[in-house]
Amino acid sequence: MGIRGEIFSSKIILPNRTYFFNVKENRMGDMYLNIVESKNRDNGGFDRQSVILFAEDLQEFLKGFDESLKALEKAVRGKKHADKGHARRDENREDGNRKTERRENRERVGERRERNSRDSERTDRNSRGERHEHNGERRDRSERGERRERGEKRGRTGERGSERSGAGRSFRGERGGDRARERGGDRGERGRSADRERRNDHGGGKRVVVKKRD
């Protein structure tokens, strides 16, 4: 027997309390188990509570203790499953939120792409319209230039034709004058020859034949 009738003593130290398991024998020779819970006070010292279990009552105590342990373990397991379920639900919610965010981001990206494509199409159309306008202006300018060149060519050809016609007229006039002169000279010579013939006829009866000059 030990001090105060202690046969066996052990303790379990936890963060906020300590448990003592003491096996003792009283003066009557009865064996019992003394379980002591010790807590620290805020103002210093310890709060102790003890439970005494005699050997003849230990089996019934152990049955109730085992049942309570099983219920406690079951409750703890259920709580863990519940916590896991809540955690899964939270994860699913987070995943759902992430999925919705991704969808929204995709939709936003799609809208941005559509807007960019529309803007690009508009810019292409505007650029095409400007190109068509520039091409039309260039064509108009080229047609105007061609028309001007044609008009200038026609004016030049008209001037050339007028010059040619004037030269032809002058040449014709000169030729006509020459011909008229030749005709006048021929007529004068013919008149002179006729006068000579008349003179010959009146003067001596002799007839002089004057040959025409070719």
Indicate if the pLDDT at residue 212 is higher than 60.
no
Write the pLDDT tens digit of every residue in 129-149.
777 777 777 777 778 888 888
pLDDT of residue 130: 73
What band does 185 get if pLDDT is binned at 50, 70 and 90?
low
Higher model confidence: residue 80 or residue 206? 80
For residue 144, the model assigns a pLDDT of 81
Q: What is the pLDDT of residue 113?
A: 87
Residue 181 or residue 68, greater confidence: 68
Band (209; pLDDT cuts 50, 70, 90) = low
pLDDT tens, 35-89?
A: 999 998 888 888 999 999 998 998 999 999 999 999 999 999 888 888 887 777 8
pLDDT for the residue 169: 66
pTM of the model: 0.38
Q: What is the phi/psi pair of residue 44, to 5°? A: 105, 155
DSSP state of 202: H
pLDDT tens digits, one per residue of 66-79: 999 999 999 998 88
Look at residue 188 and tell me whether its pLDDT is greater than 70: no
Distances (CA, A) of 127 to 13, 49, 113, 122, 133: 85, 94, 20, 8, 10
**What's the CA dihedral at 108, 114, 118, 119 to 10 degrees?**
40
Say which range, 17-26, 69-78, 95-104, 137-146, has the weakest mean pLDDT: 137-146
Which has more pLDDT, 93 or 166? 93
- pLDDT over threshold 50, residue 12: yes
